[in-house]
Chains A and B, each alone.
Chain A
Amino acid sequence: MRIQLRYFASLREALGAGETFEWADPPQPPTLGALRDHLAARGGRHAQALARPRALRCALDQTMRDESTPVHDGAEVAFFPPVTGG
């Protein structure tokens, strides 16, 4: 499954703006939370930025979703810290 990953704010500083990621053998259902755990399991700066219990939010195809939402091939997935606009 091919995912377009995007990171913002402190996650962007730690991991870069994003990457195209090939998710081999994703679990069923392939949720946003499972993707987060899979990326964190890469270790190093990915673990530091994405591992629990850090409070993060995520978006699927540019809409805020919770981590139980399944992703699909070709999805744009973003991870970022809680938002602080306004």
Chain B
Amino acid sequence: MPTPPRVRIQTADFDLAAEAASLRAGDAGVGAVVGFVGTVRDRHGSAAPSAADRVETMELEHYPGMTERAIESMIDEAMRRFDIRAARVVHRVGPLQPLDQIVLVVVASAHRGQAFQACEFLIDYLKTQAPFWKKETTPEGAGWVDARVADDEALARWGIGAGNAGPGSGTP
């Protein structure tokens, strides 16, 4: 059976349980599987919600070819840094709505510690270095989402300058 791709960019939804099962299929050396799912949220729960916080739709754009390659190299880097056996990333593009799933990261390893770390590393890396752009539509109109300095800071913990929302290099 051919090896499933490590990176998929797709409009279709995904199933965490099915991806986790397929990632560890046939590998009895796996003792831990960690998964992260990112979902579309509105900002209704924010301190002072306004019409601009009511996200109606979110459109995801990417750079076909580069996006896949960028995430592939992030998985290569995760395999170098952590003792993990397999990793997979699925990212959706196109129109999405609040509550929809956007991104999945699943990592399998012998013991839980490395899988937890590698999963967090991968989502931190992807947030600031994979070419995706979100456009939100609220009752006040449509607008591109701003990059967050907090995401650069999350990547800095792994010794990588993000240079996305703030200055830095983007390379380990």
Query: Quick check: A8 and B164 within 8 Å, CB to CB?
Result: no
Query: Quick check: A86 and B131 within 8 Å, CB to CB?
Result: no
- In the complex, whether A44 has a CB less than 8 A from a CB of chain B is no
Residue of B66, B146, B171 near A84 (CB, 8 A) is: B146
User: Given A62-B63, A83-B128, A84-B147, do A9 and B170 touch, yes or no (CB 8 Å)?
Assistant: no
- In the complex, whether B84 has a CB less than 8 A from a CB of chain A is no
Of A24-32, A33-41, A74-82, the stretch lying at the interface with chain B is A74-82
Query: Quick check: A85 and B131 within 8 Å, CB to CB?
Result: yes
Interface centre among B60, B63, B130 (most CB of A within 10 A): B63
Count of residues in A whose CB is under 8 Å from the partner chain = 20
B127-143 residues at the A interface, CB under 8 angstroms: 127-135
Interface of B is mostly: mixed
Interface range, B side: 20 to 34
Chain B 143-169 interface mask (CB, 8 Å, partner A; 1/0): 011110001000000000001110001
Listed in ascending order, the chain A residues whose CB lies under 8 Å from chain B are 6, 8-10, 12, 55, 57, 59, 62-64, 66, 78, 80-86
Listed in ascending order, the chain B residues whose CB lies under 8 Å from chain A are 38, 60-63, 65-66, 69-70, 91, 102-103, 123, 126-135, 144-147, 151, 163-165, 169-171
| Given A55-B165, A84-B144: 6 more A-B contacts, CB < 8 Å | A8-B63, A9-B61, A63-B69, A64-B70, A83-B127, A85-B126
